[in-house]
Amino acid sequence: MRHKVSIIGAGMTGATSAHWLAERELADLVLVDIVEGMPQGKSLDLQEALPVIGKDVSVVGSNDYEATEGSDIIVITAGLPRKPGMSRDDLLAKNAEIVRTAVEETLKHSPEAIYIILTNPLDAMAYLTMKVGDLPRERVIGQAGILDSARMRAFVAMELGVSVENVHCYVLGGHGDSMVPLTRHSNVAGVPLDVILPADRLEAIVERTRKGGGEIVGLLKSGSAFYAPAVAIAQMVEAILKDKNLIVPASVYLQGEYGLKDLFFGVPAQLGRQGLVKVIEYELNESERKALEASAEHVKTNIAKLAL
């Protein structure tokens, strides 16, 4: 049976997610956007690319939610991205309206779908999705940790001149400047980062990771990162559709794990066909726990602004 994935928001991250997904031949794809003609044009262009790489999926663009009927997964990327000088939090009010509509409309056509959220501020938008849709926590997952960890992995690999495949990093916490790169749990071919890198270089990498999104926003001048966020979406979709039980850092609803409750927060999450299968809990030391608590306070402030 063919799978179906609908992506709401056919902008930079939405269209690029479709691109990575089509390459993996995982599912038929639908792109929905409010801009007339744009999702249709991008979908047709992508459909026309597939003979070259020999992949058979259908890609449909629409301005109408009916096209999403019967989706296994809904990816929400609709909303405003950051401009230079803006924080992710500055997007909250406007994006909350957009995400609310996207959830309400898609649920009418795909009542069993699993939701993957990208729109910022990420943890608050994932929370909004779960509440507006009255969804079980298994079916709402926010993308942040794969991206933040991939940035850190790229920086470590560049610093040491080793393959990215040897570098494993785990960035937890809220998707913002208070994110928590766990250097003790991150490693290069099994050797912890705090052993393999001098303290000052490691601190520089941690800082660059925290500000990784802003670095790209500053360079692009208009819009924010899209290749890396979109491939992170593709990895999550693949983990779910193939029931891989893949453990990735992702934003999920916590019910006491890590001593935290009633918020979406970046933790190692096992993903399978039901969506979230399990939250993995690390042993944390005092400073790691404090950093996560500070990050959680920040996320809670944003969630409170949603006034749900």
Ligand X SMILES: NC(=O)c1ccc[n+]([C@@H]2O[C@H](COP(=O)([O-])OP(=O)(O)OC[C@H]3O[C@@H](n4cnc5c(N)ncnc54)[C@H](O)[C@@H]3O)[C@@H](O)[C@H]2O)c1
Residue of the chain from 110, 119, 186, 187 that contacts ligand X (CB under 6 A): 119
- Does 109 participate in catalysis according to the annotation? no
Q: Is 252 in the site for ligand X (CB under 6 A)?
A: no
Q: Which is nearer to ligand X, 150 or 197 (CB)?
A: 150
Give the residue closest to ligand X by C-beta: 11
Q: Is 9 in the site for ligand X (CB under 6 A)?
A: yes
Per-residue tokens: 141 = 């997952």
Look-up of token digits 């893949």: 246
Look-up of token digits 């039901």: 274
Q: Is 124 in the site for ligand X (CB under 6 A)?
A: no
Give the nearest distance from C-beta 146 to ligand X in angstroms. Answer: 8
Q: Is 147 in the site for ligand X (CB under 6 A)?
A: yes
Q: Which is nearer to ligand X, 84 or 259 (CB)?
A: 84
Q: Is 223 in the site for ligand X (CB under 6 A)?
A: yes
Q: Is 303 in the site for ligand X (CB under 6 A)?
A: no
CA-based nearest residue to 6, from 73, 55, 102:
73
Residue 257's φ and ψ, nearest 5 degrees, are -60, 145
According to DSSP H, which parts of the chain are helical? 12-24, 38-53, 92-109, 122-133, 145-160, 193-196, 199-210, 212-220, 227-241, 286-305
Residue 306's φ and ψ, nearest 5 degrees, are -70, -20
Residue of the chain from 68, 149, 209, 224 that contacts ligand X (CB under 6 A): 224
Residues 170-189, one symbol each (x = binds ligand X by CB under 6 A, - = not), give -----x--------------
Q: Which is nearer to ligand X, 231 or 284 (CB)?
A: 231
Give the nearest distance from C-beta 46 to ligand X in angstroms. Answer: 15
Q: Are 116 and 233 in contact (CB under 8 A)?
A: yes
Residues 79-118, one symbol each (x = binds ligand X by CB under 6 A, - = not), give xxxx--------x---x--x--xx---------------x
Angle between helices 38-53 and 12-24 (to 10 degrees): 30
Using only the alpha carbons of the chain, give its radius of gyration.
19
> Which is the catalytic residue, given 3, 19, 168, 175?
175
Angle between helices 227-241 and 145-160 (to 10 degrees): 120
- Cα dihedral: 240, 244, 249, 252 (round 10): 40
For residue 82, the 8-state DSSP code is: P
The stretch near ligand X (CB under 6 A) out of 106-114, 139-147, 200-208, 263-271 is: 139-147
Q: Are 22 and 61 in contact (CB under 8 A)?
A: no
**Touching ligand X, residues 261-290 (CB under 6 A):** none
| Residue numbers at the binding site for ligand X (CB under 6 A) | 8-14, 32-35, 77-82, 91, 95, 98, 101-102, 118-120, 122, 143-144, 147, 175, 223-226, 229
The residues annotated as belonging to the active site are 175
